[in-house]
Amino acid sequence: MKEEEIESMRKIFSQLKDKIEPLSQSPAIQALQKRVMEIRKEAIKNNSQLLETVQNSFKENDIDCFLASNDIEAQKIILDLINEEIESNPNIDSNDVYICKSKSNTLREIGFLELMEENNYNVIETDLGDRILQLKKEDNDPVHPTGPASHLTVSDIADIVNQSMDLNLNPVPKEIMEAVRSDVLNLMHKSYIGISGSNSIAAEDGAILMVHNEGNISFVQSKKLHIIVAGIDKLVPHLEDSVSIAKLETAYATGKPLTSYMNIVSGPSKTADIEKKLLKNMYGAERVAVILLDNGRSKAIDECLWCIGCGNCIVSCPVYNIIGNKFGYSSYLGGRGIALSRYLKDNEVSVDSGLYMCTLCGMCTENCPVLTPTYEIIENLRCDSQKEGLFRNQHKSIRDNIKNKGSPY
């Protein structure tokens, strides 16, 4: 990230902090926080049981469910689903396939965009921030889970949109929003396939909850085929648990008590209004397919999976505020992302993502709604990495000096 981008990000983070802090002190949010901590702890502890339950519930709800043990398997399932849809849908031109996508860390984790590029499929990012980053083309990693383009000023964004869409917009937020919206809507009309992540999945109910402000997920889920990719850590027992998590996540991500939309999908779109004959694909998806991704999660320590994805840990992280999104792994930003990368990949990736950059100050835990003990996890992972010979040369010479001379110097 450029210095001026980090500066802009810090400004946005400071405004965010001013909104989140008072809300997080309210008795209602504190009660919700206690409830969600319990939900997350129990859900992660009972993850394998919930995984069994959800597969049965999805079956009952006519949702296709696939288990992917890693990113490669998830990619294959996605490609198969898309190709089946292309083959069975005469409206799709196989040389010009469009897929509407909403924001998802999990899709980034499995390399979805790269996969689509390799297969010459067009992906339309439907979230405004993500679409701006998609148009930016280079150096376009997100900086916050819900505000991916928080590091760009309105002038930067106007330049990006003008260049990529050949327009002459003024640096005015509304003008930019309207231009991107009309372009995305035009492209979305060409699409029969939507893909999204999920904020939480209710195993007993067989229901997937997705949170958004823009209304874009309503378009994505209305395509003929709706694919949802989610980590197995998103499972909780009941829909009420999912709603509680979504409310707390919103409060800690945006400083607002609720988002504009919470979409719940618990089956394909259907009607039986004509002689009680069951017909699918009235207004929404004819086929809903969920891919539950392990990718190392089942080997992770419980604490690393409590996260509800609000991003508040990076807002207060001193390292992230200095170096930006290079501190983290993929879309999993900051210390918690580094810790997770140990399980999604290995110790080496976790070291490369910034394991030794963390100051262990504990600000992330203090500001985390589920009190993820990130700095403790990081300290333990450093011990593991040392044993594998993964340490900085400077650290090695300090260690050797202490050992040999009784002093670090």
Tell me which residues touch ligand SF4 (CB under 6 A).
252, 307-313, 336, 368-370, 372
- The nearer residue to ligand SF4, 54 or 370, going by C-beta atoms, is 370
Query: Residue 225, SS3?
Result: strand
- DSSP state letter for 228: E
State the nearest-atom distance from the C-beta of 199 to ligand SF4, in Å: 12
3-class secondary structure per residue, 85-115 = HHHHCCCCCCCCCEEEECCCHHHHHCCHHHH
State the nearest-atom distance from the C-beta of 35 to ligand SF4, in Å: 14
Q: Whole-angstrom distance between the N-terminal and C-terminal Cα of the chain?
A: 34
Q: Where are the alpha helices (DSSP H) in 166-238?
A: 173-188, 216-220
State the nearest-atom distance from the C-beta of 376 to ligand SF4, in Å: 12
- The nearer residue to ligand SF4, 149 or 307, going by C-beta atoms, is 307
State the nearest-atom distance from the C-beta of 198 to ligand SF4, in Å: 16
- The nearer residue to ligand SF4, 330 or 372, going by C-beta atoms, is 372
- The nearer residue to ligand SF4, 243 or 310, going by C-beta atoms, is 310
CA dist., res. 43 & res. 47, Å (int): 6
Phi then psi for residue 294, to 5 deg, are: -90, -70
- The nearer residue to ligand SF4, 217 or 368, going by C-beta atoms, is 368
How far is residue 232 from each of residues 33, 187, 236, measured CA to CA in Å?
Answer: 22, 32, 10
- The nearer residue to ligand SF4, 16 or 370, going by C-beta atoms, is 370
State the nearest-atom distance from the C-beta of 189 to ligand SF4, in Å: 35
State the nearest-atom distance from the C-beta of 279 to ligand SF4, in Å: 41
State the nearest-atom distance from the C-beta of 307 to ligand SF4, in Å: 3
- The nearer residue to ligand SF4, 194 or 334, going by C-beta atoms, is 334
Buried b (16+ CB within 10 A) or exposed e, 241-277: bbbbbbbbbbbbbbbeeebeebbbbbbbbeeeeeeee
Residue type, 199: N
- Counting every residue written for the chain, the total comes to 409
How far is residue 208 from each of residues 63, 221, 225, 227, 230, measured CA to CA in Å?
Answer: 10, 11, 15, 11, 10
- The nearer residue to ligand SF4, 53 or 312, going by C-beta atoms, is 312
- The nearer residue to ligand SF4, 284 or 309, going by C-beta atoms, is 309
Other Cβ atoms closer than 10 A to 61? 17
Burial-class residue 186 by CB neighbours within 10 Å (0-12, 13-18, 19+): exposed
State the nearest-atom distance from the C-beta of 370 to ligand SF4, in Å: 5
Residue type, 202: A
Q: How many CA atoms lie within 13 A of 157 on its CB side?
A: 23
Q: Which two tokens stand for residue 290?
A: 């969920």
- The nearer residue to ligand SF4, 195 or 304, going by C-beta atoms, is 304
Other Cβ atoms closer than 10 A to 179? 16
